[in-house]
Amino acid sequence: MVQSMEAWFLADKEAVTNYYGREFRVNSLPRRHDIENIPKDDLVPTLERASGNTKKGRYHKARHAYEILALISPAKVRQSSPHAHRFFQVLEEATQSDGLRPR
């Protein structure tokens, strides 16, 4: 299971790269596709190193995380994270059964 939302960012490296711009060092991110198994302690330092020379500055959870979270592809997260897929599935089922279907 993903222990930090930053793991979800690694499922959509293209969105993160677009957020930070050309200076973002995407090649310094883990190349693993099993984002649930990336150690939590590696996530933030890796993002900090990759973003350190960008105009937005080094990754900072309070300043960047929610903007990035809004940009990443839920489909890519679901493909890379079985637990995220299940989480979204449960939410979809709950909203459909309650008549709260997303628009």
Query: What confidence tens digit (pLDDT) does each residue in 36-67 have?
Result: 999 999 999 999 999 999 999 999 999 999 99
33 has pLDDT over 90: no
Q: Do residues 65 and 27 touch, judged by C-beta distance below 8 A?
A: no
Q: Do residues 21 and 57 touch, judged by C-beta distance below 8 A?
A: no
73-87 mean pLDDT: 93
Output the CA angle 10-23-32, nearest 5 degrees: 20
pLDDT band per the 50, 70, 90 thresholds, residue 95: confident
pLDDT band per the 50, 70, 90 thresholds, residue 30: very high
Rounded CA-CA distance 102/85 in Å is 17
Q: Domain residue spans in the chain?
A: 6-97
pLDDT band per the 50, 70, 90 thresholds, residue 98: low
Q: What is the pLDDT of residue 7?
A: 94
For 39, residues 6+ apart whose C-beta sits below 8 A from its C-beta are: none
Q: What is the total residue count of the chain?
A: 103
Q: Do residues 45 and 29 touch, judged by C-beta distance below 8 A?
A: no
Q: Where are the alpha helices (DSSP H) in 21-80?
A: 40-51, 66-71, 74-80
Model confidence, pTM: 0.85
Q: What is the pLDDT of residue 32?
A: 86
Q: What type of residue sits at position 6? A: E
